[in-house]
Structure 1
């Protein structure tokens, strides 16, 4: 498409980002014949799974924390040859094969960042890094939530090296060093295991206890077991899994892990089968929160200290949509979006992928993208139905926690339970008459591409 054609085509949709969420959106729009352009600042698709993508939080040892059978795009399963928990290179290959299978690359402009999005009447003015300005009927922001590292500040001065985990790539970086990992999310736990196997000494500083879930239970991937077995009510499911974990792991506090101050499932699941092994063998040690940095030592709140030469903060990320920040309503660092997707103020602005969920996100991206595409399609072909959905966007605030009282933290306030979200989304599609359009047409597009 020529530059002049783009300028004269305000009915096109702009997708920003070509990671898994952006690709899901592209396929959904293509399925309904909605014209769109897609922009990706990197040289290829894949988002964070491409280790060559500047700023990615990915590292060489990273694997999916959801299993192969429960992950993946809708009706595009991962290859049977993949292991239960695919590695980052396999996920990247899979994501790129998805883009190729549905002919999505043709509409993507690579090495082209979006620097600004501005309201232009009822449409949007999108400025690209080269200064080009284009106009679009709608904008789908799909640039993800792991690009702005959060680094806490501690008292004192440190003589060694301080980095965020977003800069970490290889376990070889730990050779000959005394390493302190700060934070025990899934990335922190993975990196702590790398340090345990390679560093001269490895420590993990944590502020609270976590429920540690092994990746396999009775030889079955944990999420596959949870999703494939009988759907127990929460009051029964929680004590059942707690008993199973106790049987498999014993009392983890004897390895230095604090007792969790919350119930099972009330925080982001920490899936790791290696950490306990390294704790049992003394290759990594748990330390409490940092009190101060003191030259070559790190002092902790319990009065202890350790000599370290690398502090690596695995402390998460601040969410941001820098090119369109002012058009979103923010609450404790999270955008207020209906179903974590739809702007309540602008009927043609979407944030896709801005949610925390306790299960695989890929299939969920597909189902959400389908609803976004249906809504945009209705704006042109069924304005009455689009208007009905506008009312839901403005007023509907469903509880999507599945009865789980997630931790009272900024991160967990945006958390949704996968089962509750899928149930509500399915009911929403039925209510809007969109259910029959979800399945049965992806394969046709794939074959024709």
Structure 2
């Protein structure tokens, strides 16, 4: 009997492990990747200077393929990409990948044995060099939640670009010469935004960080002593967060013991306010830490708050209202001269190639994804989704 044909779309972390798993089970696997290299968000063309992971090394590794012991506690983006390349090579996934292969349409083909028709556009240097259709028994969508960079459509942007200004998303920032000696505005307060503002503090002529709300940021080491993995990545830390069905000690803790929970999180906030000059920088978040711990807390680059306090990064809590020929106008009517505007404004979530009648099942009118256990939809046959249990923040 011929092995079933499996299509995997996307050669990021999710796509690689999906392909590896199906190969081990004896299936025929084809993996389509629109970039010229594997890695997804870690692919080299998408990595900005200084990119590193937020997790300690051993918590960001495949269980059956540890990261090299020579790697530092927080590996760089380059090291993570090399690790993923090594993983793919070790498990025979690399030879199954077709690079520069952008999936343009996935349609259900009717008949006695329904299959998926996958249309692929092969591209090189941004130009199409060929097309081809394939048929598969099962499709695994791994295009990721960080695939479509979001840049808000603001008035005057075209005028700014026509006058020589540059507008870049952090996803496409891979050369720091773009900001060297320039007047730079960075938009956002996620990890990529603060990373690039920190880079601009030393490379650019001047740097302004525009953000709508401050978020809690954590150091690699609490008080310069304790690795964050012993603070937030333990079962002890998990007990301070409520979940669906509380039992035993945790049930008591989140009912009668609520004052202890309150004190635990306020203690962490106080430590951060002492370790970082949050008050002096005017960057104390309004939301309590325990309201954001699951989605909006990230590592802060070294010396970021010191750069803000010293004026190397001018932080303005507002939003951009519009562009003009030589810069941006903020919502408070202030005008800032700029040569480069870098948006760290996250990503849109979509599966643009999925046939419309199935797309309507997966996404509602507000763009929210609906999947059972983040993996399948009962009305989308013979298709799985891997990597959709994440969030859209950058």
Shorter-chain TM-score tier: 0.7 to 0.9
Does 2:332 match 1:305? no
The answer as to whether partners of 1:253 and 1:259 remain within 8 angstroms in 2 is no
Secondary structure at 1:99 match in 2: helix
Residues 206 and 312, structure 2, Cα contact 8 Å, conserved in 1:
yes
Gaps of 5+ in 1: 1-7, 358-410, 413-449
Deviation string, structure 1 residues 378-412 (Cα, Å, up to 9, x no partner)? xxxxxxxxxxxxxxxxxxxxxxxxxxxxxxxxx58
Is 2:134 aligned against 1:134? yes
Structure 2 match to 1:152? 152
Q: CA deviation at 1:98?
A: 0.7
Could you state the TM-score of these two structures normalised by the residue count of structure 1? Answer: 0.71
Deviation at 1:330, TM superposition (A): 1.1
Tell me the distance in 2 between the aligned counterparts of 1:34 and 1:142.
18
C-alpha contact 1:67 1:224 (8 A) present in aligned 2: no
CA contact (8 A) 1:38 1:109 kept: yes
Quote the Cα distance in structure 2 between the aligned partners of 1:148 and 1:12.
28
Find the aligned partners of 1:210 and 1:278 in 2 and give their Cα distance. Answer: 17
1:203 aligns with 2:196: no
TM-superposed CA distance for 1:196, in Å, is 0.7
Q: Per-residue deviation at 1:272?
A: 0.7
Using the alignment, how far apart are the partners of 1:200 and 1:142 within structure 2? 40
Q: How many residues align?
A: 347
Which deviations, in whole Å up to 9, do the C-alpha atoms of 1:407-443 show, x marking residues without a partner? xxxx58xxxxxxxxxxxxxxxxxxxxxxxxxxxxxxx
What is the CA–CA distance in structure 2 between the aligned matches of 1:303 and 1:191, rounded to whole Å?
Answer: 25
1:336 maps to which residue? 370
Provide TM-score, normalisation by structure 2. Answer: 0.80
Whether the aligned pair in 2 keeps the contact of 1:18 and 1:38 (CA below 8 Å) is yes
The equivalent residue for 2:250 is none
Which of 184, 188, 192 is the matching residue for 2:193?
Answer: 188
Matching residue within 308, 315, 327 for 1:279: 308
Higher helix content, 1 or 2: 1
Aligned with residue 227 of structure 1, among 233, 239, 247: 233
Per the TM alignment, residue 154 of structure 1 is displaced from its structure 2 partner at its CA by: 3.0
The match for 1:270 is: 298
Q: Could you tell me whether the CA contact under 8 Å between 1:9 and 1:136 is conserved in 2?
A: no
Q: CA RMSD in A?
A: 2.5
The aligned runs of 1:35-184 (5 Å cut-off) are: 35-52=28-45, 56=46, 58-121=47-110, 122-129=114-121, 130-156=130-156, 158=160, 159=163, 160-184=165-189
Tell me how far apart the structure 2 counterparts of residues 335 and 77 of structure 1 sit (CA, whole Å). Answer: 32
- Using the TM superposition, name which of 160-169 and 189-198 deviates more: 160-169
Q: Secondary structure at the match of 2:63?
A: coil
**Residue 141 of structure 1: CA displacement?**
0.9
Question: For residues 304 and 78 of structure 1, do their structure 2 counterparts lie closer, same or farther at Cα, with a shift above 3 Å needed?
Answer: same
Q: Map of 1:393-408 to 2, 5 A cutoff? A: none
Post-superposition shift, 1:60? Answer: 2.2
Distance 1:239 1:111, change over 3 A: same
Q: Secondary structure at the match of 1:338?
A: coil
- For 1:85 and 1:15, the matched residues in 2 are separated by 29
SS at match of 2:101: coil
- Three-state SS of the structure 2 residue aligned to 1:193 is helix
- The equivalent position to 1:295 in structure 2, one of 325, 328, 332, is 325
140-149 vs 241-250, which moves further: 241-250
Q: Does the 8 Å contact 2:140/2:384 carry over to 1?
A: yes
Gaps of 5+ in 2: 122-129, 242-257
**Structure-2 separation of matches of 1:192 and 1:172:** 14
1:128, CA displacement in angstroms? 2.5
Write the mapping of 1:212-251 to structure 2, written as runs, cut at 5 A: 212-217=217-222, 218-228=224-234, 230-231=236-237, 232-234=239-241, 236=261, 237-250=264-277
In the alignment, the residues of structure 2 paired with residue 143 and residue 320 of structure 1 have an alpha-carbon distance, to the nearest angstrom, of 9
Alignment partners' CA distance in 2, 1:272 and 1:339 = 31
Higher mean alpha-carbon deviation, 292-301 vs 308-317, is at 292-301
Deviations 1:127-169 (A, max 9, x none): 2324433222210011223332211133445353333223311
Instruction: Name the residue aligned to 2:126.
Output: none
Partner of 1:343, secondary structure, is coil
Contact 2:107–2:355, Cα closer than 8 Å, also in 1? no
Deviation of 1:191 (Å): 0.6
**How far off its partner does 1:265 sit?**
4.6
Contact 2:269 2:289 in 1 (8 A): no
